[in-house]
Amino acid sequence: MITAIVCIAGIGLVASFVLAVADKYLSVQEDPRIGLVLSELPGANCGGCGFAGCDAYARALVEGTAPNGACPAGGEAVAAKIAGILGVEASATEKRVALVKCCGTRSEAIRVGDYNGICDCNVAAMTAGGDKGCVYGCLGYGACANVCPKGAISIYDGLAKVDKRLCIGCGKCVSVCPKKLIELVPSSATIHVLCNNPDKGPSVRKVCGVGCMGCHLCEKNSGGKEAGHFTFQGFLAKVNYSNPPTDEQIVAKCPAKCMSVDPLLESGH
Amino acid sequence: MKVVKSAFKFKGGVHPDYNKGLANNKLIEALPMPSELVISMSQHLGAPAKCIVKPGDYVSRGQIIGERNGFISVCVRASASGLVKAVEKRLGPAGGKADAVILDTTASAPEGVEMLGDGPVLKPLDWENSSREELIARVEEAGICGMGGAGFPTSVKLNPPPGKRCEYLIINGAECEPYLCADHRVMVEKASRIRLGVEIMRKILGECAVRIAVESNKPDAIQALSEAFADISGNVEIVVLSVLYPQGSEKHQIFATVKRIVPEPPALPIDVGCVVENVSTAVAIADAVEKGEPLLERVTTVSGDAISEPKNILAPCGTKYSDLVQFCSGTKETPAKVISGGTMMGFAVPSLEIATTKTTSGILLLSSRRVFQYTSGPCINCGRCVRACPMCLNPADISKAVEANDISDAERAHVMTCIECGACSFSCPAYRTITQFCRRAKNSIRARIAAEKAKAAAAQNAAEKKEIQK
């Protein structure tokens, strides 16, 4: 009994001595600001800044190799706090959120087959481009929802919907979508074109009741081509987010009903 | 020439319901020219051809309408004379849209518009006195790609890289896919053309042994081939393979005929001294060289229990499926599923508006009795897929890794070796779509490798630019 106590106590003493010496001579000097910066970052490790996680971004910030304000999740508030710690200017960035550019729900967009394979858009897209008649449209098998670190994307009626309040703009859904129809847009923009089909009107109409036909009415109603609120790719209208339209009247006038005022908010649940 | 029985059997494999009796005794029938053709620029493996015609052009039969676009690519020729109505993206049989030329074959060119004649588009070649290079160039300009299904450009296959020599030319007549019998009919009816194709390929590849692999369920094809090849010189054997799916896979055929094992990708059959060509490709080569006839049409089996009269049809590339179905007197009942290709590796297609390509060996229209509606369950670790996998993989492990989104684990399990034959899904009692999981993993890995390559190339470019600036 006594032997055991003496042995353990002896090992403890020797070990503590070794640790004390190691602490004195082998300690790594870490910039205390890294911890401070890290505590300000959201800690979601979403990778939206382009670094491996919040820790890597904090280190890069303190080393001065990363721009302040690259964190899409934290936005301006966090950038300002970090600027206070580091004494640098925050580069102004507007919060960006994901937008699913499709509004072809199961009732509006036709489905050409019954797909009962793996529930993942990328896999479904390998089978004849997916079961949706419109090959540009959202398949609704939730590849984006699966990668979203914040659970901001949910699938309603065969269509992915983003909750603007939860989205941190990390862009993971943008890269995973096989149809490439998710775009990061400024969170202040309210008017969006929810279609991704650049084909001519009749062929869009064949597959979807709410597809953009490229009639240019939105452009005309928002002040013509000179106003520059819209750009066109083939027969598809796109909102020019560096100069977004503000007149919400044009949404109701869209004959294809593919425009929407802030679809990101209304989808909240 | 002798007929031998294959002594080697690969591991795994399955025995699906073959259903070849529906069409394997039907003579090849030529389809009357349909009024509209949809000729895709992506009929082969590799880069799609570059379309060089525009709407309003009159093209003549055999004229090049798509130029070869890269090393692994072949040219596309117009399957018929006519007016180019449109050039637009159309859905292909394997999914994905590619540029396609919509041809109105009823229109004839007005006076003064130049068109090529109706005779042979290419000059017939005297193959015995032509050089190897001339013959390869002919195969290339005839737009020939592998007609078994994958569509690898034949001119690339017949031109082994320096330092590699072809010892065995293997002619693939296994046709192990259920329902399909296009190759079977070609072997029975065009055995002498196959022989000519083999002789031309042998001239291109240099002296090599020839093995013609046929599954034992086609005795009439074996009979026809042995008659056609009776007096051929050199080391030629017809190898009778046991009936087992996927006997028609290139790698398994090499094992079954000459007992060589192709290493993991990116190794190719030529790395073990073998070149494998489909029987229909051999016929296409014979036609291109001897008659100067480019690859414009192919034999396609239209079968399945929903079709009124299953047939083997010689149809121009670009024929819409609906035209083929109409030629077979339509459907008996509403098909529950339309498959382009065979039931094991084919693709379900959403409509009959899709057009055939150089690789379409069959179209199957199956009724609801033949189409099983399943719900996938979790893996029960029974190991049947492991036993069935002809590539000695562990499909259960791979599918579970992909399900958990762990692609790197699937890569460690050698998913890139998978040939997507479908034996695992076929044998799974839990109806798991294992092949689909493998395809998903392979696609992600390929995308990753491509991204890494692009990144490395960009970095190298930047470094070179810096050096120039210095």
Q: Does A146 touch chain B (CB under 8 A)?
A: yes
Last residue of a domain, one of B333, B352, B370: B370
Last residue of a domain, one of B326, B347, B370: B370
- Note whether B183 and B136 are within 8 A (CB): no
Helix, strand, coil distribution of chain A in percent, nearest 5: 35, 15, 50
Tokens of B72: 């692994």
Whether B449 is in a domain gets the answer: yes
| pLDDT value of residue B266 | 84
Q: In the predicted model, is pLDDT for residue A129 greater than 80? A: no
B428 and B356 co-located in one domain: no
Contact A123 B440 (CB under 8 A): yes
Cα-flanking dihedrals φ and ψ of residue B176, to 5°? -85, -5
Quote the ipTM score: 0.72
Q: In the predicted model, is pLDDT for residue A185 greater than 70? A: yes
B310 and B331 co-located in one domain: yes
Write out residues 218-257 of A within 8 Å (CB-CB) of B: none
Distance from the A222 Cα atom to the nearest Cα atom in chain B, whole angstroms: 32
Instruction: Please check whether the domain covering A33-86 is classified as CATH 3.40.50.300.
Output: no
Give chain A's mean pLDDT.
85
B357 and B431 co-located in one domain: no
What's the CA gap between A240 and A163, in Å, rounded?
22
| pLDDT value of residue A90 | 63
What's the CA gap between A88 and B401, in Å, rounded?
45
Whether B109 is in a domain gets the answer: no
Residue A61 — very low, low, confident or very high, per pLDDT cuts 50/70/90?
A: confident
Q: Which residues of B touch A113 (CB under 8 A)?
A: 348, 350
B290 and B403 co-located in one domain: no
Distance from the A114 Cα atom to the nearest Cα atom in chain B, whole angstroms: 9
CA distances from A48 to A149, B143, B312, B427 (A): 10, 47, 56, 43
**Alpha helices (H) in chain A, listed in sequence order:** 2-25, 32-40, 54-63, 75-86, 121-126, 143-147, 172-176, 201-207, 217-221, 224-227, 249-253, 263-266
Tokens of A85: 């710690």
A-B contacts at Cβ under 8 angstroms: 50
B352 and B383 co-located in one domain: no
Residue B452 amino acid letter:
E
Per-residue pLDDT tens for A198-223?
Answer: 888 888 888 888 989 888 888 888 88
B311 and B383 co-located in one domain: no
Q: What is the DSSP letter of B48?
A: P
B223 and B152 co-located in one domain: yes
What's the CA gap between B138 and B32, in Å, rounded?
28
Q: What is the residue-wise DSSP string for A34-88?
A: HHHHHHHS------TTSSSSHHHHHHHHHHT-S-TT--TTTHHHHHHHHHHHHT-
B363 and B345 co-located in one domain: yes
- Note whether B351 and B90 are within 8 A (CB): no
Q: Does B436 touch chain A (CB under 8 A)?
A: yes
B122 and B173 co-located in one domain: yes
Q: Which residues of B touch A50 (CB under 8 A)?
A: none
Last residue of a domain, one of B370, B392, B413: B370
- Domain spans of chain A, in order of start: 33-86, 96-263
| pLDDT value of residue B300 | 95
Nearest Cβ partner for B95 among A118, A127, A133: A127
Q: Does B433 touch chain A (CB under 8 A)?
A: yes
Distance from the B284 Cα atom to the nearest Cα atom in chain A, whole angstroms: 28
B406 and B360 co-located in one domain: no
| pLDDT value of residue A268 | 42
Which residue, B197, B193, B247, is CA-closest to B218?
B247
| pLDDT value of residue A69 | 77
| SS3 call for B145 | strand
Nearest Cβ partner for B95 among A120, A128, A133: A128
E strand or H helix at B441 = helix B434-469
End-to-end CA distance of chain A, in Å?
Answer: 64
In 10 A of CB B426, how many CB atoms? 18
| pLDDT value of residue B121 | 76
For the four alpha carbons of A137, A143, A148 and A152, in that order, the dihedral sign comes to: positive
Tokens of A125: 């897209």
- Note whether B392 and B127 are within 8 A (CB): no
Percent of chain A at pLDDT exceeding 90 = 14
Whether B362 is in a domain gets the answer: yes
Q: Which residues of A touch B334 (CB under 8 A)?
A: none
Kindly report the CATH number assigned to the domain that includes residue B301.
3.40.50.11540
Structural domain boundaries, residue B446: 379-470
Q: Which residues of B touch A120 (CB under 8 A)?
A: 440
Contact A112 B351 (CB under 8 A): yes
**A174 or B113: which carries more pLDDT confidence?**
A174
Nearest Cβ partner for A135 among B97, B375, B444: B97
| pLDDT value of residue A91 | 63
Q: Which residues of B touch A142 (CB under 8 A)?
A: none
Contact A128 B375 (CB under 8 A): no
**Alpha helices (H) in B206-320, listed in sequence order:** 219-228, 250-258, 279-286
B27 and B144 co-located in one domain: yes
Which residue, B2, B24, B3, B11, is CA-closest to B393?
B11
Distance from the B91 Cα atom to the nearest Cα atom in chain A, whole angstroms: 8
Write out residues 339-378 of B within 8 Å (CB-CB) of A: 347-351, 373-376
B385 and B321 co-located in one domain: no
Whether B400 is in a domain gets the answer: yes
Q: Is B16 left (phi over 0), alpha (psi -120 to 50) or beta?
A: beta
CA distances from B256 to B8, B81, B187, B243, B246 (A): 5, 43, 20, 12, 11
Nearest Cβ partner for A117 among B94, B436, B444: B436
Contact B440 A120 (CB under 8 A): yes
- Note whether B80 and B101 are within 8 A (CB): no
Count how many domains chain B has: 2
Written as tens digits, the pLDDT of chain B (470 aa) is 888 888 888 899 999 999 998 998 999 999 999 999 999 999 888 889 999 988 988 888 888 899 888 888 999 999 998 899 999 888 888 767 788 999 999 887 776 666 655 556 788 888 888 899 999 999 999 999 999 888 899 999 999 988 899 999 999 999 999 999 999 999 999 999 999 999 999 999 988 999 999 999 999 999 999 999 998 888 999 999 999 999 999 999 999 999 999 998 888 999 999 999 999 999 999 999 999 899 999 999 999 999 999 999 999 999 999 999 999 999 999 999 999 999 999 888 888 989 999 999 999 999 999 888 888 899 999 999 999 999 999 999 999 999 888 999 999 999 999 999 999 999 999 999 999 999 999 988 998 999 999 999 998 988 888 888 77
Q: In the predicted model, is pLDDT for residue A269 greater than 60? A: no
Q: Which residues of A touch B439 (CB under 8 A)?
A: 123, 126
Q: Which residues lie below 8 Å from residue B241, measured CB to CB, with a gap of 6+? A: B6, B174, B213, B214, B215, B216, B247, B253, B256, B257
